[in-house]
Every structure is written in C-alpha cells, then in structure tokens.
Amino acid sequence: MGQSWQDLLFAHWRVEAAALRKLVPTGLSVDEHDGSAWLGITPFVLTGFRLRGTLPLPVVSSFPELNVRTYVTAEDKPGIWFFSLDTSSRGAVEAARRAYRLPYFHARMSVDRTGDRVDYSSARREAARPFVFTAGYEPAGDRYEPKPGTLDHFLTERYCLYAADEAGLHRAQIHHPPWQIRAAEAAIELNTMPPDGVELQGEPLLHLADRQDVVIWGLESVQAEHKSPVGAGSTG
C-alpha cells in the first residue's frame, strides 16, 4: 500500500512507561529514551492512497488522518503501537481495520492551510466519550535529518507498525526515506485524544514534516507471547 503524508505534526509528551504498559500487549516492550516513554499525537493529510500496482483514485485517495501512538519493540524490531487512528474516510476505516487490524475510527475533520500555517480539527463520530483535537501549527526552523541516538531520531525513525487481534501479534514493515523534520510551533486548543488512564502534562515537543512518501507492506505474524490489554484498541 502506497501513500504520502503531508503537513504532519509530531506532538510528543513524556509519560510514565507503566501507564502505557497496561495498554499494549504483553508481547511488546514499551521503549524509553533517557528514562521516559513517549505518547505522540500526529495530525496530517494523507494523499495518493493506493494499493500496490494501482494508481490513486481522484477524491477518495486524499483525506485527513490523526493518530495516537507510542513506541515499542518485539523481536528486536522497534516500531509503533497505535492506540487509535481517526480519519474522515469511512472507506479507509473499514479497509484498514480489515487489512491491518488497526483501531481506526470515523471522524469529522477539517484542514485549512494559510501560507505555512495549518489549522486542524478532528472530532470522532459515535464515540463513548469526546475524542477531539483542535490545533494550529506551523514550522519554526530549518529542515534537518535526525541523527541516530538523539530523541528526535527515536521518535520518528520507526520502520514497522504493530497490531493485535485474537490470533496474536502482527507486524507490518514501513518503507520510506529518512525523515526531514523541523521544529514547530503549535497552539493546541483542545486535546482529548489520549487513551483512558493516560494524562498529558506540560508542553509537548513539536516537530513538523512537510511530506513523506511511504510504502506499507502486509501483516506478518510475530512469534511472541501475546495478551491483549483490557480496552486496548477500542477507545471509541
């Protein structure tokens, strides 16, 4: 599956690793950097959505997406665990849930770009509680490639995602060039996206990526002990 991510904001908060371990399968270890785990909220616009060997379809191949994530490892492969993924495309929700076992949700979303500034709004439909994110963000520095060993590299350079269902743990490889990011500024007006039991404190670490071209491969099984946490992946 191919796609491009545009105007992507990385907003990251330090959180206690113990709070996240309760929410991910036991077959995954929660990654830490300098003694902290991290929760990320990443709004962006997905464009050029297409299956392998096909061309993007007009209109339906572009839509906003917002994901809530942390960083995990299994079998010595660092990757991403998604607590939720919201998008305005009902078709993408249904397809990704089936193909990738990911907790996608349908949301009302809007994105307005004025110059370098992006105004982003998302509100999940038919949710048990409000899941809302409203913010304006823009770049605040020059582009650079994160260096190995740095926090920026830890938070961005992840080349697989993890998912889970009744059959166990799964991994999908993600291929893309190294990230080109820059510092960002953001005014976050409302953020109720973190999963239940996780509270965000302080100001987030902010980065912006203008564009990233991505290929995501199909799921493969992970040979690790797996037990789904109660409520994980069902925050809607």
**Whole-number pLDDT of residue 232:** 45
**Whole-number pLDDT of residue 54:** 44
Q: Comparing C-alpha atoms, which of 175, 165, 120, 146 is closest to residue 8?
A: 120
Check: CB of residue 29 under 8 Å from CB of residue 37. Answer: no
For 227, the token pair is: 């037990």
C-alpha dist (Å) from residue 50 to 46, 58, 61, 63: 11, 11, 7, 13
Check: CB of residue 184 under 8 Å from CB of residue 207. Answer: yes
- Please tell me whether residue 18 adopts helix, strand or coil conformation: helix
Q: Is residue 209 part of a domain?
A: yes
- Please tell me whether residue 96 adopts helix, strand or coil conformation: helix
Q: Is residue 235 part of a domain?
A: no
On the 0-12 / 13-18 / 19+ scale of CB atoms within 10 A, 172 is buried
Strands (E), the chain: 2-15, 29-30, 37-50, 63-74, 77-87, 104-114, 117-124, 132-139, 160-165, 168-175, 182-191, 205-221
Q: Is residue 236 part of a domain?
A: no
- Distance CA(5)–CA(220), nearest Å, equals 24
Q: Is residue 70 part of a domain?
A: yes
**Whole-number pLDDT of residue 48:** 74
C-alpha dist (Å) from residue 153 to 148, 178, 207: 6, 10, 11
Q: Is residue 233 part of a domain?
A: no
Q: How many domains does the chain have?
A: 1
Write out the chain's pLDDT in tens, 236 residues: 778 999 999 999 999 999 999 999 989 999 999 999 999 999 999 987 655 444 434 444 689 999 999 999 999 999 999 999 999 998 888 888 888 999 999 999 999 999 999 999 999 999 999 999 999 999 999 999 999 999 999 999 999 999 999 999 999 999 999 999 999 999 999 999 999 999 998 999 999 999 999 999 999 999 755 555 544 444 55
Report pTM.
0.89
User: Domain range spanning residue 158?
Assistant: 2-221
**Whole-number pLDDT of residue 50:** 55
Check: CB of residue 7 under 8 Å from CB of residue 118. Answer: yes
**Whole-number pLDDT of residue 230:** 43
Q: Is residue 30 part of a domain?
A: yes
Task: CATH number of the domain at 77, please.
Answer: 2.40.400.10
Q: Is residue 17 part of a domain?
A: yes
